[in-house]
Structure formats: structure tokens, C-alpha cells
Chain A
């Protein structure tokens, strides 16, 4: 069935490091791909989304490109800050009014 995979459970970086969070998906449809960020004590909030293959979503310095060939939607940021510490969820919508989330990646950015 449809699924989304995030292999990295936790990532620890120092400020100004480059961030790369892996995400791959498996679906028989043509989904909208999403990244959500969840700060402690809050609900997830949409970080960026992409609806068309080969397009890039950009928000707050984060970017992700929808690669239909490799079925990937990796999240990147050139220079992370301590305030970026949060849980990042790769997700997609199923065209059926629900969002399927990956397991999440805990990002810890050290000052």
C-alpha cells in the first residue's frame, strides 16, 4: 500500500551545518508531497508542499524537490539554527482527504 519512509530517527547538528533529511514514498497515485514541522508541545505545521514532479518547494530556508524518478522528497537546509530543533515529518496527501505521515525525524541543533 501507500507509504512514506523516513530512515533517520534522529539527526544532531551544530549551528550553520547543512541539513539533509531523507524521505522516500511509495504510492500508486500522484500525490501532493509535504513536509510538516512539529515544535515541542505543539501540533504539526505545514512547512512546504509540492504538487508537481520536479518542482521544488521552498520555505524559511528549507527546500525539497519532488523527484518522481527516485520517488524521493528529501528536505534540505544550507545552514541550520538552534531554533530549527523540532520533529520533521515527511508526508503526502492521498487525494482522499487524509495525510499519511512518515515516522518523523528529530532534529537537534547544538548552539
Chain B
């Protein structure tokens, strides 16, 4: 089936550094999402993105977070600066415009902030 790719699979950085998580969504999808998962538990919605703009963001989407998708490139989540509580697995997802409830998830990027 359709696949979402995420790069890197793991990232270890020191607190205060900047990190960029990359997502390659399904090719004909136009809605993109980031979710955060801690300790294999609840998936928490962070943000959604369509037509170059953030549509909605949750309280977890702090001011230090930003997303973008320059034409033809990855959909990215940038955290600057990072904090210890940002350690988690971040999942990217994408969906079609006519079926946004069926979101396809990538394998996740495990971020460890030391």
C-alpha cells in the first residue's frame, strides 16, 4: 500500500540544539500531519498542514516548533531549541483530500534529547 517515509529513524541531540525531522508523504496526498508518541502510548496530534499552511495546531505544538513543505521536498518538523520533554517518537502522516480520515503513517523518528 501507500507508504510514508521518515528520515532519520533515530536522532540523538543535546538540549538546546535544533533538529529537523523529515517526512516524505504519499505522492498524491495533500494533507500532512505530525503526531507525538511517548513511551509507546497515546498518539497526540501536533499539527496539520495543507496548501502551504498550518490549519490547526495543538497545545503541544510549542512556539519552538515549526513545519513547512517547500515545493517538491520533504514535509518537515523543526524544533528550535529542543528541550528534554521533546524526547518522543514523532510520526508523520498524510491523507487524500477526499478521504482525510484515512491517514497513512510513517514508521516514526525516535528523538532523544539529552
Contact = CB atoms under 8 A, between A and B. Distances in A.
A103 B42 CA distance: 4
B99 to A, nearest CB: 10
Given A43-B91, A89-B43, A104-B42, A99 B101 contact: yes
A46 B42 contact: no
Given A42-B107, A43-B91, A43-B106, A101 B42 contact: yes
B102 interface: yes
B75 interface: no
A43 B48 contact: no
A108 interface: no
A98 B91 contact: no
Contacts of B35: 101
Interface in B57-114: 91, 93, 100-108
Contact of A87 (B31, B40, B56, B91): B40
A109 B80 CA distance: 42
Contacts, number: 56
A93 B42 CA distance: 16
B40 A43 contact: no
B93 A93 contact: no
Nearest to A34: B101
- Number of contact residues on B: which range applies? 20 to 34
Contacts of B48: 97-98
Contact of A41 (B42, B93, B103, B107): B107
| Chain A interface helix/strand/loop/mixed | strand
Given A43-B93, A102-B42, A104-B41, A96 B101 contact: no
A97 B100 contact: yes
B107 A99 contact: no
B55 to A, nearest CB: 6
Contact of B33 (A32, A34, A45, A98): A98
21 contacts: A34-B101, A41-B107, A42-B108, A43-B4, A43-B106, A43-B108, A44-B105, A45-B104, A46-B102, A46-B103, A87-B40, A93-B100, A96-B56, A97-B48, A97-B100, A98-B48, A99-B103, A101-B42, A103-B41, A104-B42, A104-B43
